[in-house]
Structure 1
Amino acid sequence: MNPGIVVPVALFVCVTYAIKVCVDAVARRRMMQAGGSAELVASVLREEELRRRHSSLRWGIVLLSVALGFGLIQWFGWQDVTPGMVAVLAGATGLGNLAFFAVSRKLG
């Protein structure tokens, strides 16, 4: 990996995530200072936790399906980027998203 490419991308991702965390913290603080009811604050925090769990579940399922797609590519011995290889990866990503949809419907 070329550090000239990886370092700026990683820096951008870290700065973006830090800004998101700060904005979320400020929003929670303002909600608490605005005198919102304890039920409202608790429900917002529960919903945020559920959203975070679903996000982790989605990425886990999608990355697992993409890994299976790469495994199929390796198993077939494909070396060059072909439309078939791209189709396998796109199909694996789509199947991962569909699996997440099915699981999330069962969860609630």
Structure 2
Amino acid sequence: MYPILIPITLFVCIAYSIKTVVDAYTRRRIIESRGSEELVRSLLDGEANRRRLASLHWGCVLVALAVGFGLVEWIGTERVTPGVVAVLLGATGLGNLAFYLLERKQK
């Protein structure tokens, strides 16, 4: 199983690196094209807001998953069963819903 994870991880890292470089290049081109100061400021403010929301999103999902894993451990399940998968998927869904509610409350 582990030998297959290495190429998958490598592919994900390469794809993420390419995305990051393309995004940085695009931002640089917009700034260099002498775009209006308002456009540059809104671009940078929008990016900061997206980062903040991404942190909130992942925080909600990971906390909900931690609760789900804790529940699975508390029940004492030693095998992966459909019930265990359902608990973890439900925890992930609840984390996403919590993010949605928190994000709407911020606006």
Task: Give the TM-score, by structure 1 length.
Answer: 0.89
Can you list the C-alpha shifts for 1:16-49, whole angstroms capped at 9, x where unaligned? 1210111011111211122210111110110111
Count of matched residue pairs: 107
- For the residues of structure 2 that align with 1:76 and 1:86, how far apart are their CA atoms? 13
Q: Post-superposition shift, 1:9?
A: 2.5
Code of the residue aligned with 2:70 in structure 1: it is: G
1:8 aligned residue: 7
Q: Post-superposition shift, 1:80?
A: 2.1
What SS does the aligned partner of 1:36 have?
coil
Q: Is the counterpart of residue 22 in structure 1 residue 48 in structure 2?
A: no
Q: Identity of paired residues, percent?
A: 56
Q: What's the RMSD between the two structures over aligned residues?
A: 1.5
Q: Post-superposition shift, 1:89?
A: 0.8
* 1:54-65 equivalent positions in 2, closer than 5 A: 54-65=53-64
2:103 aligned residue: 104
Q: List gaps (5 residues or longer) in structure 2.
A: none
Can you list the C-alpha shifts for 1:29-86, whole angstroms capped at 9, x where unaligned? 2111222101111101101110111111101110111111011011101122222111
Task: Give the TM-score, by structure 2 length.
Answer: 0.90
